[in-house]
Amino acid sequence: MKKSFAMKKLYYSISEVSRLTELEQYVLRYWESEFEQLRPAKNLSGNRIYTNKEIKLILLIKKLLREEKYTIEGARKYLKNFAVKEEEEARRSEEAESSRNYSGRQGELKLFSNEEPHTPDAQSKALKSDLKELRSFLNDLLKEI
């Protein structure tokens, strides 16, 4: 039975997570002590609040321990390697996105290049070109934010 957690709620209580993952609450609390990646925040009352990401992690731990028969130590090692791979993929994806956004740019504004425009008309064109490039660059930055 596959469950979807995509943006239904921002935070879930331990009892909700227990129902969703079909695990006892004491098991969830125990796994927190065994897996450093599983650290749910606590609300002002001190109750655990789980995000969708943490629920997915719990389901992965459950699969590793119960279906694939990993030991806790083996599951810890798997999760550490998994986290490193995720970070590398995120970095590569970010680099690819960055290169797509700025691949057409020369990196130096024409107005400040070593080549001096000799005529006022050429200076005006260089300035317009630089302003367009700056505008495009700033728009891209705003989109990323």
pLDDT at 136 (0 to 100):
81
For the chain, 145 residues long, the average pLDDT of each consecutive 10-residue run is 62 96 97 95 95 95 96 94 80 72 54 58 76 81 75
Contacts 24+ apart (CB under 8 A), 135-141: 137/102, 137/105, 140/101, 140/102
Domain ranges of the chain: 1-73, 101-144
pLDDT at 107 (0 to 100):
55
User: Token pair 């028969």 is at which residue?
Assistant: 69
- CATH: 3.40.50.1370, 3.30.565.10, 3.40.630.30, 1.10.1660.10. Which one for 1-73? 1.10.1660.10
pLDDT at 82 (0 to 100):
83
pLDDT at 90 (0 to 100):
77
pLDDT at 27 (0 to 100):
97
What's the burial of 12, exposed, middle or buried (CB within 10 Å: 0-12/13-18/19+)?
buried
The reported pTM is: 0.58
- Position 125: which residue type? K
